[in-house]
Structure 1
Amino acid sequence: MIDSRPVLVNTRLDDPTADHVIGELHRRGVPVVRLDTGRPEGVTLAVGAGAGKDWRGDLRTPTRQVDPHGIRAVYHRRPSPTASTFPADDPAGHQRDFTTAQIRHGLSGLLVALPDCLQVNHPHRNAAAEYKPVQLTTALASDFTVPPTLITNEPEAAREFIRAHHPVVYKPLRHTDYRENGELRTIWVRPVTAEEIDSSLRACPHLFQKQVIKTADARMAVVGGESFTTRITLDGDHPDWRMDYSLVSFSPVEAPATVRRSAELYLRTLGLVFGAFDFAIDRDGAWHFLECNPNGQWAFVDPATTRGITVALADVLEKGVSP
């Protein structure tokens, strides 16, 4: 019997990572509805609940129509930040603030409330899993090796940590848009010395971590009980390989069994279906946990690994139930 229930993919228009999965679902004949809850132009809905029934009715995009009750899975990939454009004449933005909130709590809220529907990942679980302290706590409980780490806004505490664990790197606790003199800048992971720490540290908490003297990095995507790992080799010694992709090479690698088991435990603990783990591999071959992005990118790695992740995600979404 053919399953006609669609998979809904919630993402922005320019998302090549989602395109891989959508293409694979189309190849299998699985119906797909794509929308961007942050920019819902042309989307209409009329859904109701009550009298013993959950949300049923009509959700339409410019090209698709679906009864939310019949959605088998929602892939929350990378929707745009919610921003209403109504009304056009609203200098103070008060009405747009109101309509933006209604879109977020109405349309996005409907998708996360669907019963008997697989959420990859549920946005509430994604949000909780993005906190660095939660990641490190869960990593330690999952038996990962975690470098010594300090979160502080006390300058002398930072200096003492750096002296005790030199070399040390600084990391932002969350990727956030940052501007200097009006120019958008990226805050990379970078080495830091005790002499650099001054009173400006008191403005907010900062994360410091003992730097792993590494031979390579690794990115491991885990979904549906399978793991797909890429070794990342940098032509240079900067701790953040994302700075210049022209200096980076990717190749498939098998993660140690202990690392794979820890990753599965990590995802179960946080209620995640998918996770993208980053590791530093030291000179003795030990894998050190750096972070887990619950909705991390993966289409940039080597083609074989990209294909494996694509198929595994499509398998999970097509099945429509948690693995």
Structure 2
Amino acid sequence: MTDSRPVLVVTSLHDPTADVVIRELHDRDIPVVRFDSGDFPASLSVEAEITQEGIRGRLDTASRSADLAHVRSLYYRRPTGFAFPHLDEQDARFATTQARYGLGGVLASLKCRYVNHPHFIGDAEFKPSGLAAAVEAGFQVPPTIITSNPDAARGFIKRHGSVIYKPLWNPVYRVDDVSSVVEIAEVTADDIDSRVAGTAHLFQQRVEKTADIRVTVIGPHTFSVRIDSDLLDWRTDYSRLRYTPVPTPAQIELSLHEYLNHFGLHFGAFDFALDAGGQWWFLECNPSGQWYWLETETGLPMCGALADLLERKP
């Protein structure tokens, strides 16, 4: 008998990574209902009843419908935010919170596999939490300080020498009408002034690296790729990168899964710095990180592994 339970894919309209996963699921005859939570309520509606057996009801898009009691899995990617431009500011704020806690709460309460659960994604996106979990999992983590105290920042830099600044979160800025973000940069004690007191900042000892490692964990599968470049942050210029699949050391493999288990995640995109002695230094884990470009560069079967996870193969 054909299993008609759908996979829900929650993402924006323009998401090439979701596109390739959906094509793979379609090739396997797995039903898919794709939607952007930002489409609610204009072209997305929900009807959910809380019962002793769990949530039942339906979710309808312009072209698809899903029985909420029989969802196979939910792939939470990068949906846009709720928006109510036809309402005044106060009513829009109220409608947004109701949508978030109503529709969002329903989507977070289904009896299905989440890749990843939106609440757990939120937990894992806090950099201090991720770094603390990485230490617990057994990773080597560069000395790090989060501070709003200029003197503490200067003291940290003097103790550790080569230090970089990283934003704790990276909202988009508009510079000359062009989208921009705050980049990772090396800092000295002389760079620190009273502006540090204005908010929280993260400073971290710079790893003298020979290469970067991106590790994509999809369920039980681990895909490690060495990234060679001369860049402090390889994400600033993809044209200068060279990719080589590499084996994952056994202890790193154990720590990867311990880290994901800590946050209840099935997927994670991990970044490491590789030093001259072969040590892998944990930098961060993105629970919603991009990965498909690495499959096109290396041939590693990541899309198939993710489709297996969503299909709920053993």
TM-score above 0.5, yes or no: yes
Q: Is the counterpart of residue 9 in structure 1 residue 2 in structure 2?
A: no
Task: Look up the equivalent residue of 2:11 and give its one-letter code.
Answer: T
CA contact (8 A) 1:251 1:302 kept: no
Conserved? CA contact 1:139–1:266, under 8 Å: yes
* Structure 1 segment 57-76 matched on structure 2, within 5 A: 57-76=57-76
Residue 274 of structure 1 pairs with residue 270 of structure 2: no
Distance 1:270 1:173 in 2: 18
Q: Which amino acid aligns with 2:260?
A: L
Which ranges in structure 1 are unaligned for 5 or more consecutive residues? Answer: none
| Partner secondary structure for residue 145 of structure 2 | strand
Q: 1:119-130 counterparts in 2 under 5 A? A: 119-130=114-125
CA apart distance, 1:15: 0.7
Alignment of 1:256-295 (within 5 A): 256-295=249-288
Q: Secondary structure at the match of 2:78?
A: coil
Unmatched 5+ residue regions in structure 2? none
Amino acid at match of 2:80: S
Alignment partner of 2:301: what SS? Answer: helix
The residue number in structure 2 matching 1:220 is 215
Structural RMSD (CA): 1.8
Displacement of 1:258 in angstroms is 1.3
Q: Distance in 2 between matches of 1:149 and 1:137?
A: 10
Q: Give, in whole Å, the separation in 2 of the partners of 1:9 and 1:231.
A: 30
Calculate the TM-score normalised by the size of structure 1. Answer: 0.92
- Deviation (angstroms), 1:24: 1.0
Q: Report if aligned partners of 1:228, 1:305 keep a CA contact under 8 Å in 2.
A: no
* 1:75-123 deviation digits (Å, cap 9, x = unpaired): 11111122224xx2x4x42222222222212222211111x21111111
Q: Structure 2 CA distance, aligned partners of 1:302 and 1:309?
A: 6
CA deviation string 1:133-185 (max 9, x = no partner): 11111100111011111111111111111111111100011112335687643
Question: Residues 217 and 279 of structure 1 are in contact (CA less than 8 Å); yes or no, is this contact kept in structure 2?
Answer: yes
Offset at 1:218? Answer: 1.1
Is the Cα contact below 8 Å between 1:39 and 1:84 reproduced in 2? no
Most deviating of 194-203 and 254-263: 254-263
CA–CA distance in 2 between the matches of 1:190 and 1:306? 32
Amino acid at match of 1:48: E
- Quote the Cα distance in structure 2 between the aligned partners of 1:47 and 1:307: 40
Aligned to 1:45: 46
Worse-matched range after superposition: 23-32 or 40-49? 40-49
TM-score (norm 2): 0.94
- Aligned-pair identity in percent equals 46
In structure 2, what residue type is equivalent to 1:262?
Answer: S
Alpha-carbon distance change, 30 to 181 in structure 1, aligned in 2, over 3 angstroms? closer
Q: Number of aligned residue pairs: give it.
A: 313
Q: Structure 1 residues 125, 143: closer, same or farther in 2, change over 3 A?
A: same
1:185 matched to which residue of 2?
A: 180
Indicate the residue corresponding to 1:77 in structure 2. 77
